[in-house]
Chains A and B, each alone.
Chain A
Amino acid sequence: MNINATLLAQTIMFALFVWFCMKFVWTPIIAALEERKKQIADGLADAERAKHDLDLASKRSAEILREAKEKAGEIVANGDKRASEIVEEAKVQAKVEGDRIIAGAKAEIDQEVFRAKEQLRTQVSAIALAGAGKILGREIDAKAHNDLLDKLVAEI
């Protein structure tokens, strides 16, 4: 338990340990702690920002959804309108077509009637001639009485 040169050795050792600690221990550990502190703060800030972004995004998506719905409704309405238009047009067209067919048929019928009449008339005139010939007892010259016959036919 004597005071001796150990004293100096201890002082020097102490200084060296402090120097070592300051240079190689304290600085890197404190730097890491600071770095982690910063990372955590950044992480929290990021989370906050992400939350904000999420809010915005959900708002925006709701808006887009609403717009899409509106547009879809519009399209459906347009489609309905167009369909009824088409139906109307088709109706009109069918009516026109029908009328045309009816008119054609009528004309044909008229023509047919006319032709039948014509035939009938010629046959009637022949019959009349034959009848008259029998009645008169002689042959009527078809040529001489043609105009008379024609008049008769026209009357029939």
Chain B
Amino acid sequence: MSSEAHTSAEYIKHHLQNLTYGQLPDGSWGVAHTVEEAKEMGFWALNLDTFIMSLLLGGIIMLVFRSVAKSVVTGTPGGLQNFCEWAVEFIDSSVRGSFSSKNDMVAPLALTIFFWVFSMNLMDLLPIDYIPLLMTSLGVPFFKVVPSTDPNATFGMAIGVFLLVLYYSVKMKGLGGFVGELTLQPFGKWGMPVNLLLEGVNLIAKPISLALRLFGNMYAGEMIFILIALMGGAWAGFSLGGVTLYGSQVLLSLGWAIFHILIVTLQAFIFMTLTVVYLDMAHQEHH
């Protein structure tokens, strides 16, 4: 609990609020200190916590891989190089498995997605109160550590993937081919409006499902951590109930965290695989 004075609702709200930078109601620019202030900022605001954490995590991963890539040896690899080679080979083989065309960008894309999303998800396993507590003591009102519980992050990536899908669809099939794909099937040219509706939904569903699946899973996981944390927050002296609640929090947090390791990895893998599959579909004529 960040403060004993919080009610449960405030605690949950506090944990789900991003640190938002934007135009404050009085016209100046700054960090929002309440949930309402953050809401008022509208579109032109930046979630500093999401931005910093994802930049930091992505940066660390890229630097680790870069340091290996810079000093890569063809002889016996060292520990870190071993890991990176394993990662590269794992990604390479799973991309080969689901991507049939030739495109040098897809495998690095998949590597970036997998490790970036994985590391962002992994932040979920940090004890839920530590960083917000630290930040509050530093005078920062909110701090959400897990970027993938912010829909901005997941939609941001999904939009990136969607743009790539559009780009390669047009590049591989031509603008006519792509439009034809959207309008001429499954019912032929007389069913054009229906075709457009069906295929349009099909197309739009790709980035939305990609973003919402990751966001939903991580958000729900975070939510459950918060709820479990509330149990220990109900601590009120050495009564039987208090001790039971506290013990349950420890056990449940542990159990959920262990289960969450699976979700963290799985969601990163699903995001990566679906991206590769969508790009593969963009490269192929489908009939």
Instruction: Tell me whether A26 and B55 are in contact (CB under 8 A).
Output: no
Question: B residues within 8 Å of A by Cβ?
Answer: 16-18, 20, 22, 38-39, 41-47, 50-51, 54-55, 58, 62, 65-66, 68-70, 72-75, 84-85, 88-89, 92, 104-105, 107-109, 111-112, 116, 150-153, 155-157, 159-160, 163
CB of B279, distance to nearest CB on chain A (Å): 12
Q: Which A residues are CB-close (under 8 A) to B51?
A: 6, 9-10, 13
Instruction: Tell me whether A2 and B66 are in contact (CB under 8 A).
Output: no
Q: Knowing that A13-B55, A22-B105, A25-B69 touch, tell me 17 more A-B residue pairs with CB under 8 angstroms.
A: A2-B39, A3-B151, A4-B46, A4-B152, A10-B50, A13-B156, A18-B112, A22-B104, A22-B109, A25-B62, A25-B66, A25-B108, A29-B72, A30-B92, A32-B85, A33-B85, A33-B88
Alpha-carbon gap, A39 to B77, bound state (A): 14
18 A–B contacts, CB within 8 A, in A order: A3-B43, A5-B45, A6-B46, A6-B51, A6-B150, A6-B156, A7-B159, A10-B54, A10-B153, A11-B156, A11-B157, A11-B163, A13-B51, A24-B62, A26-B108, A30-B92, A32-B73, A32-B85
Question: A residues within 8 Å of B by Cβ?
Answer: 1-11, 13-15, 17-18, 20-22, 24-33, 35-36, 39
Among the listed B108, B150, B155, which residue makes an inter-chain contact with A21, where contact means beta carbons less than 8 Å apart? B108
A35 nearest in chain B by CB position = B74
Instruction: Tell me whether A10 and B85 are in contact (CB under 8 A).
Output: no
Instruction: Tell me whether A5 and B72 are in contact (CB under 8 A).
Output: no
Q: Which A residues are CB-close (under 8 A) to B45?
A: 2, 4-6
